[in-house]
Structure 1
C-alpha cells in the first residue's frame, strides 16, 4: 500500500509566487517565492527561492533566502543560503559560505515538560554541559 506520507512530494516551481501560509503533510520542494509561514514534514529550498516567513519542519535543506525563523529537527544550510532570523534545531549542518543573521539555539525537547524547572535544579544536571 502506498499510504506512506513520505511517498509524495509537492514542488513549487521558480515561476510560482505564493502569499499565505503553507501546511503540507507531504515533502515540499520550493524554487519559487513564498510570503507566509511554512509547516511540513520535510522541505528542500532551491537557490533561487525566497521565503518571507517562519519555516517549521522535521527536516530542512535550505539553499535560498529565508527571512524568518527556522525550526527543524535536522537542518542543513547550504553555502548559497542567506538566513535572516533565529534558528532552532536538533541537528545542524552549515556549509562554509552560508550567511546567517540571527541566533542559533539547540531545541531542548525535554524543556516542554512541566517538571523541567525542578529537574534543572539538581546538581548532576547543572554539571553536564
Structure 2
C-alpha cells in the first residue's frame, strides 16, 4: 500500500548522531534515529525512539516512536507508545499504542472525501464541542478509539460529554 517508487527496496538512514537542518524529500523509505529540523516528505517513514522531528511530516506510511513537533499527514500511521506528538494528525488508517502522548487534533481523512477534515475545523469550541456533541454523524470509530486509549486531546470520557456539563471539558486546558 505504499508508493511503488521503491522497486529496488532501498532506504535511507539518519543515525542517532546526525542532525539535519532543512527539509528532507525521499522517494523511498526513510529511517530517522537523529534530529531533523525541517519538513519531511517521503514514501515511508520509520522514526526511532530517541529521535526528534521539528516540522511537518508527509508520508504514505509512517511508524513514529520518537518526538514530533509539527503536523503529520499519512495514509497509514502507527504511533508507538514511546512517541510524543505535538501537532495535528491527519490519517486514513491509524494505530495508536496505549501510552503514546498526542497533543493535537486527530483528523481522519477518507480517500476522495473531504468531510472528515471539515469536521475538525467546524468546532467553534476547539475542544469539547469537537468530541462528539456537535457532530450528527456516527464517527465513533475514530473518536472512541482515541478516547478509550486515553490519548485524546479532548475530554477523557466520551460518554460523559453527553451526560455532564462543562466539568469534564475543564480538564482539557
Fold match by TM threshold 0.5: yes
Q: How many residues align?
A: 114
The answer to whether structure 1 residue 106 and structure 2 residue 108 are counterparts is yes
On the 8 A contact 2:44/2:60 being kept in 1, the answer is yes
Shift of 1:52: 0.1
Larger relative contact order (C-alpha < 8 A, sep ≥ 6)? 1
On the 8 A contact 2:5/2:28 being kept in 1, the answer is no
Compared CA separation, residues 84 and 128, structure 1 to 2 (3 A): closer
**Over 2 Å off, 4+ runs:** 126-129
- C-alpha distance in structure 1 between counterparts of 2:5 and 2:71, whole Å: 28
On the 8 A contact 2:84/2:100 being kept in 1, the answer is yes
Residue 16 of structure 2: aligned partner: 14
Residue 76 of structure 1: aligned partner: 78
- Flag the structure with higher strand content: 1
- C-alpha distance in structure 2 between counterparts of 1:18 and 1:42, whole Å: 18
TM-score normalized by structure 1? 0.83
On the 8 A contact 2:5/2:27 being kept in 1, the answer is no
- C-alpha distance in structure 2 between counterparts of 1:35 and 1:56, whole Å: 14
Unpaired runs of 5+ residues, structure 2, are 115-135, 140-173
- Where in structure 2 are the equivalents of 1:43-122 lying within 5 Å? 43-111=45-113
Shift of 1:107: 1.3
CA RMSD, Structure 1 to Structure 2 (Å)? 1.8
